[in-house]
Amino acid sequence: MAFIDLRSDTVTLPTEEMRKAMANAEVGDDVYGEDPTINRLESLAAEIMGKEAAMFVPSGTMGNQVSVMTHTRRGDEVIMEAESHVYYYEVGAMAALSGVQARPVPGVRGVMNPEDVKRAIREPNIHYPKTTLVVLENTHNRGGGKVLPLENVKTISEIAHSNGINVHMDGARIFNAQVASGIPAKEYAQYADSIMFCLSKGLSAPVGSMVAGSKDFIERARKNRKMLGGGMRQAGILAAAGIIALTKMVDRLQEDHDHAKLLGEKLHEMGYGVNPEDVETNMVVVDVTVVGKDVHAMEKELKDRGILANANSNKTLRLVTHYGITAEDITKTIDAFNDILRQ
Ligand code: TLP
């Protein structure tokens, strides 16, 4: 059976155009800075984000971790939202690789209250770690694809900067934020000293993420990327797909958002626990316990009907729409949820 795979937008496959561009990519040794396709992608990424420079990394996780490492020193404290990817899903890498301590601040669907961020910043005191970084995630994964309000980003950034603290944005899905809000990615990025964003999620490239920032930051980050084993060689093969991701695949994200919205509305009408207003981008987080279902049993019942979705808590399933998911797939998904209820 061909599954309708709503586990994540990481499952997207490269387009035909990407495959052709990959086959024909001009390449060189990127550790020497000699891969023309990588260089093109890095310039394009920097320009889109309004930054001086950018660097290609194999994954979003490495992009975040290289950024944390570049902004901090061992023993520092990093403030981030309590459900953020960098804290929740990166295998403890901040502690293991950079030797920094996390200071999670609970938010509402991933949005931190600037006052809470202010309170979390350490005063100078012999006993305290030094706060050197704030991480923001936009859109927020565990917040159900929530778009951070620009004003919130601006306020937190001002608080951080006025205390000599840098800001890193995990913009894995920053283009979903752009498409949903109509605010260009660079307007969010202007408040961050570095931004990581993924080519390999909704934008469909097979591999890769970018880190953008100042020239000096990216130079130092390159050294850390090398240390972590992320210095690749003829990686222009991958960058060729990334260029298409950035130039051709952004605007179509609207279709994924429309699909997610429809799913959210229909599941709400059926009585599942989802507020359609909360569906801002390409994710739908559904509480199945309100209709008396166990989340893991539900995962299985959906799978039996050809739909893949992951539980992201003991109550909720996360459905992610993406390139390759059609209107017909959405109808089938709605029917499957309906069918399960009627059993
Ligand atoms: N998220 C994955 C899983 O790791 C949970 C997913 O399926 O959503 N930042 C954010 C906000 C992310 O959602 C992800 C991936 C990453 C970073 C890491 O990217 P990769 O998978 O390229 O290391």
Kindly tell me the burial class for residue 129, based on how many C-beta atoms sit within 10 Å of its own C-beta (0-12, 13-18, 19 or more): middle
Q: Do both 243 and 263 map to the same domain?
A: no
Q: How many residues does the chain have?
A: 343
172 Cα to the center of ligand 1, angstroms: 7
Same domain, 219 and 123: yes
Report the separation in Å between the CA atom of 93 and the middle of ligand 1, taken as the mean of its atom positions: 14
Question: Which residue is closest in CA terms to ligand 1's atom 5?
Answer: 89
Looking at the structure, tell me whether residues 272 and 190 fall in a common domain: no
Q: Does residue 168 form part of some domain?
A: yes
- Nearest-angstrom CA–CA distance, 343 and 185: 45
Tokens of 36: 């023309």
Of 5, 6, 22, 4, residue with least CA distance to 245: 22
Q: Do you find a cis peptide bond into 139, omega within 30 degrees of 0?
A: yes
- Separation of CA 60 and ligand 1 centre (Å): 6
For 133, the domain range is: 11-248
Which numbered atom of ligand 1 lies nearest the CA of 200?
Answer: 22
Distance between CA atoms of residues 306 and 6, nearest Å: 11
Tokens of 236: 């222009």
Same domain flag for 234 and 263: no
Say whether both 187 and 316 belong to one domain. no
For residues 239 and 280, state if they share a domain: no
Do 144 and 88 fall into the same domain?
Answer: yes
For ligand 1, the distance from its centroid to the CA atom of residue 198, given in whole angstroms, is 9
Q: Ligand 1 atom 6: the closest Cα is on which residue?
A: 8
Q: Is there a single domain that holds both residue 191 and residue 273?
A: no
Instruction: Output the domain CATH number for residue 272.
Output: 3.90.1150.10
pTM score of the predicted model: 0.98
List the residue whose alpha carbon is closest to atom 13 of ligand 1.
Answer: 141
Do 180 and 270 sit in the same domain of this protein?
Answer: no
For residue 33, the tally of other CB atoms under 10 A from its CB is 11
Q: Which atom of ligand 1 is nearest to the CA of 8?
A: 7
Sort strands 194-198 and 166-170 into parallel, antiparallel or unpaired: parallel
Q: How far apart are CA 295 and CA 188, in angstroms?
A: 35
From atom 3 of ligand 1, which residue's Cα is the shortest distance away? 89
Task: Tell which atom from ligand 1 comes closest to the C-alpha of 58.
Answer: 22
What pLDDT score does 343 carry? 84
Residues enclosing ligand 1, CB less than 6 A?
8, 10, 59-61, 64, 85, 89, 137, 141, 170, 172, 198, 200, 209
Say if 4 falls within a structural domain. no
Please state, in angstroms and rounded to a whole number, the distance separating the CA atoms of residues 337 and 84.
29
- Last residue within a domain, chosen from 216, 248, 280: 248
Question: Of the candidates 198, 227, 248, which is a domain's last residue?
Answer: 248
Residue 5 domain flag = no
Q: What is the pLDDT along the chain (343 residues), one digit of tens a residue?
A: 799 999 999 999 999 999 999 999 999 999 999 999 999 999 999 999 999 999 999 999 999 999 999 999 999 999 999 999 999 999 999 999 999 999 999 999 999 999 999 999 999 999 999 999 999 999 999 999 999 999 999 999 999 999 999 999 999 999 999 999 999 999 999 999 999 999 999 999 999 999 999 999 999 999 999 999 999 999 999 999 999 999 999 999 999 999 999 999 999 999 999 999 999 999 999 999 999 999 999 999 999 999 999 999 999 999 999 999 999 999 999 999 999 999 8
Q: Is residue 6 part of a domain?
A: no
Q: What is the distance in A from the centroid of ligand 1 to the CA of 201? A: 8
Residue 49 lies in a domain: yes
How many angstroms separate the alpha carbon of residue 170 from the centre of ligand 1?
A: 10
Point out the domain boundary residue: 187, 221, 248: 248
* 45 & 32 share domain: yes
Angle of CA points 254, 20, 17, to nearest 5° = 20
Q: Nearest-CA neighbor of 110 among 178, 198, 170, 186? A: 170
Q: Which of 9, 86, 91, 198 to mutate to test the pocket of ligand 1 (most atoms within 8 A of CB)?
A: 198
Let me know if residue 113 belongs to a domain: yes
Q: Point out the ligand 1 atom lying closest to the alpha carbon of residue 62.
A: 23
Same domain, 33 and 98: yes
If one counts every other C-beta atom within 10 angstroms of the C-beta of residue 61, the result is 20
* Residue 165 and residue 148 share a domain: yes
- The minimum-distance atom of ligand 1 relative to the CA of 173 is 11
Give dist(CA 262, CA 330) in Å, integer: 8
Instruction: State the number of CA atoms in the 13 A half-sphere of 335 facing the CB.
Output: 10
**Number of domains present in the structure of the chain:** 2
- Structural tokens at position 205: 């490239």
Q: How far is the CA of 61 from the centre of ligand 1 (A)?
A: 7
Flag whether 212 is in a domain. Answer: yes
